[in-house]
Amino acid sequence: MNKLMLTGLISLAICGSTQAQTFKAGEPLGTINEAGVATPMSSNVKVYGSFRTAESCTFDPERNLILAMNNGISPTLEENDGYVSLINPDGSVHTSKWIGATRDGLMLNQPLGSAINNGVLYAVDLDSVRMFDLATGEPMGSVEVEGANLLNGIGVAPDGTVYASNTRAPERIYKITPSGQTSIFAEGAPLAAPNGVAVDNQGNIVVVNVGDNAVVTFSPSGEVIKTEHAAEGGNDGVVIMADDTKYVSSVRFGSVSRIRPGQAAEVIATGIPSAASMCYDSVQNQLVIPMNSNNALAFIPLD
């Protein structure tokens, strides 16, 4: 078991020798002009894109920016080329490669699910959970999860406890404590290719499946306490609002379901190709949905 603190106190030495390597985050879009002066992009220009297989996003309300996880090329072809983009709330690009501008001191192969908690960006990466300083992008350590082969979704409790789904067999939810201890939180039915994970307002763990349309709520002790259903199966993303309304995105069928407490699911959007692990932009009141190999983000304003 790894013994790494999941707070900002982890030594950067676990990502490589900090004496030999210096991590550098990417800068907002700009150029060096003919006079050799660094020049930011003028305000009358907007750029869209910068994605390479965008799988998940999370929202930083302090900076009013969307953090988009990019897989890069398949790790069987190119290792350690995942990156994180900073995106403005209108979908235009702030920083094309924020984490991943250089590879010095950085290991990020294929980031899938992501979450923010207490100034830390968490990302699942194949068989590991990686942490980054939310303000600087600097790596803060990682925990390798023994037995995992495709960590996919991630939810983080207020105390820093991580819950991560393993979508391939063995179909599991792993629990990683703030001290880095890993354990199996849930395994087998009702999990059916578990994907998206979120922690609700009561501290319960909510999981959506790719294999069916179940939206399963576990207590912190691992007991199933509620099962709801999205309008369609093949689900990836789950967002939980302050009033306990859930939004669920179907990566297979392209719909977004809204599940109000005690009510049946209703479809609020359709036809979104590869609607992956979405996030909620609490400032603009909108859902943001990465579209995987379509290399794009979809935006859904909420009422």
**Are 143 and 10 a contacting pair, CB within 8 Å?**
no
Q: Is position 40 within any domain? A: no
Model confidence at 9, pLDDT cuts 50, 70, 90, reads very low
Cα 289–chain centre separation: 11
pLDDT digit string (tens) for 261-276? 999 999 999 999 999 9
**Are 93 and 115 a contacting pair, CB within 8 Å?**
no
In percent, the amount of the chain with pLDDT more than 90 equals 89
Closest CA to 276 of 301, 248, 300, 257: 248
Q: What is the rounded CA–CA span in Å between residue 61 and residue 245?
A: 20
Q: Is position 38 within any domain? A: no
Q: Report whether pLDDT(20) > 90.
A: no
pLDDT digit string (tens) for 237-292? 999 999 999 999 999 999 999 999 999 999 999 999 999 999 999 999 999 999 99
Task: List the structure tokens of 130.
Answer: 């990686």
Host H or E run for residue 140 = strand 139-144
Mean pLDDT of 25-35: 94
Q: Report whether pLDDT(74) > 80.
A: no
pLDDT of residue 212: 98
pLDDT of residue 73: 82
Q: What is the rounded CA–CA span in Å between residue 145 and residue 299?
A: 33
Q: Is the pTM of this model over 0.95?
A: no
CA atoms 202, 204, 205, 209: torsion sign? negative
- Range of weakest confidence among 21-30, 212-221, 243-252: 21-30
CATH (domain of 198): 2.120.10.30
pLDDT digit string (tens) for 149-190? 999 999 999 999 999 999 999 999 999 999 999 999 999 999
Q: Is position 210 within any domain? A: yes
- Quickly count: other Cβ atoms within 10 Å of residue 17's Cβ: 9
pLDDT of residue 19: 37
pLDDT of residue 70: 96
Q: Is position 17 within any domain? A: no
Greater model confidence, 8 or 229: 229
Model confidence at 21, pLDDT cuts 50, 70, 90, reads low
Q: Is position 247 within any domain? A: yes
pLDDT of residue 22: 85
| Domain that includes residue 59, residue range | 47-301
Q: Is position 180 within any domain? A: yes
Task: Tell me the backbone φ, ψ of residue 191, rounded to 5 degrees.
Answer: -70, 135
- In the chain, how long is the greatest CA-to-CA distance? 64
- Range of weakest confidence among 65-74, 142-151, 285-294: 65-74
Q: Is position 15 within any domain? A: no
Tally the domains of the chain: 1
Mean pLDDT of 93-99: 97
Task: Tell me the backbone φ, ψ of residue 13, rounded to 5 degrees.
Answer: -65, -25
Q: Is position 41 within any domain? A: no
Q: Report whether pLDDT(122) > 90.
A: yes
Model confidence at 14, pLDDT cuts 50, 70, 90, reads very low
**Residue given tokens 């294999």 in the structure block:** 211
Model confidence at 12, pLDDT cuts 50, 70, 90, reads very low
- Mean residue pLDDT of the chain comes to 92
Q: What is the rounded CA–CA span in Å between residue 183 and residue 95?
A: 36
